[in-house]
Amino acid sequence: MRRIEQGYSLLTTLLVVTVFFLLGLTIIAVSLQHARFATVRVDDVQSLHKAKTEVNEAVADLKAELSDPNFFTSHHIFSPNEWDHFLGLDSSNPGDKTMAGRLLERYGVMVKDESDQYQIDKQQVFLRVLRLEKSFDDGHRTRTVARRVFVTNTPSFLKYALGSNRAVVLNGGVYIEKGDVYAGETGYASNATTYVSRTNELKIENYDSGMPRFSDSSVWYLNGAFQACGQKKSCWTADETQARFQMTNQWESSWPGGTTEPPPSFQPSNEDFVDVDFELTVADKLLQAAGFSPSSPEYIAEVEAVQEAADKTEALHQLANKLKDRFNELNGNDPLEIIKQKKDKPLYVNGGINLIGDVDIQTDKGVNQWLIVNGPLKLNGPQNNFINIHGNFIVFGDLRITGKVRLDASVYVTGKTEIYQSRIERADKGVVLLSKGKLDLARINEFDNPRGEANLKGYFYTDSSATIYAVGSYLSIDGGLFARGNGDPAPDTDIYGLVVNAFRGRVEGSNGEPSGFVPNPNVASSRLVVRYRPEVLVEQGTGLPFVNRLSLVVDRLEVR
């Protein structure tokens, strides 16, 4: 029995040793496999990081090259064709003296022209849409890092969701879903909301309207101080004698404690701000509408005359009168019917005009034609159905938009602009509206509840100051708002710059006034939502304002 038991013991021992040996081999194999996977994973991450870095460096290189204020003359670029040759877009094998060739040689980054996808007239404008991309191997397949870049000679205000060269005041629960905010001077934020009643009484709402909310990728660029107030009704006082809201002494230099909204990311702006020259831009649009090439002696002489005039607005009036023989002049009792018949050339009205109904100033090729109004313009939509506005406008006077409208236009206004008691729906291309005078947006889509989709598409700019009310109103904007801050203070305030009032939550109406305020901390309940959209830079084409400098608008980095 002992010999048999000894045999079993030997077998058991050998079996246990074998099992442990196999377990050891398995552990070693697994460890080696994990080490190999870890090495591959590190290599993948490093390859991805390297590709991202090289694409970003290529973007920075392109940006530095275009930052020269005398870029066009330094490189002898006077036409869009010469511009494409400099970029290297006119060849499938760009040389090393072109930007595309240089970026490929330095960083291995390919430059692809996507301008045709946006129907850009490359013979008429310098705007280009480029895709900078770099491929890398992640160990399993080849992937691509890419950034879309808009190269444009448009002013800096078109780069921001909200902004001003002076102060930016964000009262209440505005939500910056995408894009950045720019304040050339002081930035202000509060959980207060102010509005003006139909009887012109100044109102300060008691409810907590929410603090402004920014997306994780959004930045508030500040060149001055920051002030905030979390005291609701104590942030502002209403001075009825002067008909304006004024700040109290409750503002402090830090984000209010006890608020559910986190403070935004603040950074100083390190870029030169490229301003729009309103009068020269309008002169350019008038002359190009009349058929003058920017390189012609006539064009240069007329632009210089406007630039040197003591009263530039009057000089623009005189230029419009001088050019009217090149336009189809409207007269008669039915201007809309005449507009339908005479769109082969720009249209001209000597005096104010009130347009009720659809306004279609597109050519047979679907390109927006110009309507020059030598006086104030009113666009009045009816209450029972929406009107569609297609075209480009130059207005020598004030502009007022009311009723139900869909805007697909570029609009230049030498006076003030008011959009009031309107119901606005998103149009295909949207609107780019520039006003020399004050901008006032109020009572738009009143008492609609937030529904997560844009009802207005475009950019709104004033050379002066602006006040936006989204208390009873509901505005969801794909685009942006900017007030340069010259001239008069913002409507109903003593602030020079942009003033925004927005409630976050549900609001009911009673006798045409906001009531039944129900605050909601969810950003989806904000009654003013702004999403920056660089696509507007290409969709309005020749109607966009321009400057004699190039800049980049860079979209988000993609990994595919």
Over residues 181-205, the pLDDT tens digits come to: 999 999 999 999 999 998 889 999 8
Q: Look at residue 422 and tell me whether its pLDDT is greater than 80.
A: yes
Report the range out of 331-340, 421-430, 520-529 with the highest average pLDDT: 520-529
Instruction: Find the farthest-apart pair of alpha carbons in the chain and give their distance in angstroms, rounded.
Output: 128
Please state, rounded to an integer, the average pLDDT across all residues of the chain.
Answer: 85
Structure tokens at 145: 């890092």
Q: What is the pLDDT of residue 458?
A: 84
Q: What is the pLDDT of residue 446?
A: 84
CA distance 430 to 451: 19
One-letter amino acid at 235 equals C
Report the range out of 172-176, 206-210, 317-321, 476-480 with the highest average pLDDT: 172-176
Q: What is the pLDDT of residue 1?
A: 46
For 7-43, the pLDDT digits (tens) are 566 666 666 666 666 676 666 665 655 545 444 444 5
Q: Count Cα neighbours of 384 within 13 Å in the Cβ-side half-sphere.
A: 0
CA distance 303 to 323: 13
- Of 148, 116, 194, nearest to 499 (Cα)? 194
Averaged pLDDT for residues 315-338: 83
Q: By the 8 A CB rule, do 189 and 498 touch?
A: no
Averaged pLDDT for residues 387-412: 89
Lowest mean pLDDT among 130-144, 465-479, 485-499, 531-545: 531-545
pTM of the model: 0.78
Q: Look at residue 338 and tell me whether its pLDDT is greater than 80.
A: no
Q: Look at residue 290 and tell me whether its pLDDT is greater than 80.
A: yes
- Of 186, 179, 185, nearest to 556 (Cα)? 179
Structure tokens at 368: 């927006």
For 233-287, the pLDDT digits (tens) are 999 999 988 899 999 999 999 999 888 899 999 999 877 787 888 898 899 889 9
Domain spans, the chain: 44-154, 156-273+463-544, 277-436
Q: In the block, which residue shows the tokens 């902004």? A: 163
> Which regions of 453-532 does DSSP assign to beta strands (E)?
456-462, 466-470, 475-483, 497-502, 505-510, 513-519, 528-531
Q: By the 8 A CB rule, do 425 and 388 touch?
A: no
- Of 358, 364, 417, nearest to 390 (Cα)? 358
- pLDDT: which is higher, 84 or 13: 84
One-letter amino acid at 251 equals W
Sequence-distant (6+) residues with CB within 8 A of 439 are: 416, 417, 418, 460, 461, 462, 464, 465, 466, 467, 483
CA distance 372 to 316: 11
Structure tokens at 237: 């006082």
Q: How confident is the model at residue 509 (pLDDT cuts 50, 70, 90)?
A: confident
Q: What is the pLDDT of residue 38?
A: 45
Lowest mean pLDDT among 138-152, 328-342, 393-407: 328-342
Query: Percentage of residues in the chain with pLDDT exceeding 90?
Result: 42
Q: Look at residue 534 and tell me whether its pLDDT is greater than 90.
A: no
CA distance 94 to 92: 6
Q: Look at residue 332 and tell me whether its pLDDT is greater than 70.
A: no
Q: Look at residue 324 and tell me whether its pLDDT is greater than 70.
A: yes
Q: Look at residue 536 and tell me whether its pLDDT is greater than 60.
A: yes
**Could you give the residue ranges of the DSSP H alpha helices within 290-436?**
297-308, 312-323, 335-341
Averaged pLDDT for residues 368-393: 86
Structure tokens at 213: 């909310």
Averaged pLDDT for residues 316-345: 81
Task: Concatenate the DSSP letters of all residues of 477-490 into one string.
Answer: EEEEEEE---SSPP
Q: What is the pLDDT of residue 540?
A: 58
CA distance 430 to 408: 4
CA distance 132 to 106: 13
Q: Left, alpha or beta for 89 (phi > 0: left; psi -120 to 50: alpha)?
A: alpha
Q: How far is CA 503 from CA 62, 267, 455, 481, in A?
A: 41, 26, 17, 18
- End-to-end Cα separation, the chain, in angstroms: 73
CA distance 46 to 49: 5
Lowest mean pLDDT among 28-37, 67-76, 427-436: 28-37
Residues 337/326/373/445 CA torsion (nearest 10 deg) = 60
